[in-house]
Amino acid sequence: METAIISTSTDVATYPAEASGSDPRDRLIVALDFPSPARALQLADELRGLCRWVKVGMELYYAAGNSVVERLRARGFDVFLDLKLYDIPNTVAGAVRSVTGIGASLLTVHASGGAAMLRAAAEAADRTDAPKLLAVTVVTSMDAAELSGVGVSDTPAAQALRLARLAQSEGIDGMVCSAQEIAALRDAVGPRATLVVPGIRPSGAKAGDQKRVATPADAIAQGASMLVVGRPITQADDPAEATAAILAEMAR
């Protein structure tokens, strides 16, 4: 496939360093949300050369542990370890240290864990072989009604902004947010912060259980650093073709 070129500007964050080029393959993360490593590794092999980043979430990590990260790294992929750590500060810091050195490039913690937890995580990750941390703001399956049900009266956008500022103040310069919050977070945390955006659905795709979604083109135009795409690729009849189509839309 011929490499497509993305037009970039100083308003678009580029983080980590691998995402700083104009190649859309550096900005697409394919979510390997499978219950066993065999299918995840099979799909990774099918997509080799098309994508450079893969996500290992809780479903796959709990089934396969650190070994699946190491096997993906051996195949040449960068790994986004999406564990959404949330616990007391000491436990989260210990978890960050436990996964340090296995080869993951990015690791998520929940921003709603609070200042002390975020600070402890950032301190634990302050070493050269540790993954870069991303603070999850409001997951894309939640809307205002869902937030209200857990006692948050603000809109998802307001809550995401509050949590992003909190995370940055405690030393975490990357955030996970929906496309609807990109512009506000970019203004608040600056052009160098990483904004990783899930809930991406190509034009015409079903939203599924996601409530705050966007197309790849819309998310890139808003200033997303990287996009996470799962089911539109993993459940496609031809995952490689679906990936190529998303890359083309990102490039446009």
Q: Is 55 one of the annotated active-site residues of the chain? A: no
8 A C-beta contact, residue 110 and residue 84: yes
DSSP labels, 98-148 = HHTTS--SEEEEEGGG-HHHHHHHHHHT-STTSPEEEEE-S-TT--HHHHH
Residue 247 near residue 24 (C-beta atoms within 8 A): yes
Q: How many residues would you count in the chain?
A: 252
Task: Give the CA diameter of the chain.
Answer: 49
Catalytic pick among 84, 132, 206, 211: 84
Hey, what long-range contacts does 141-148 have (CB within 8 A, 24 or more apart)?
141/209, 141/210, 141/211, 142/211, 142/212, 143/211, 143/212, 146/211
Cα(first)–Cα(last) distance of the chain, in Å?
15
CB 229 within 8 A of CB 51: no
Catalytic residues: 84
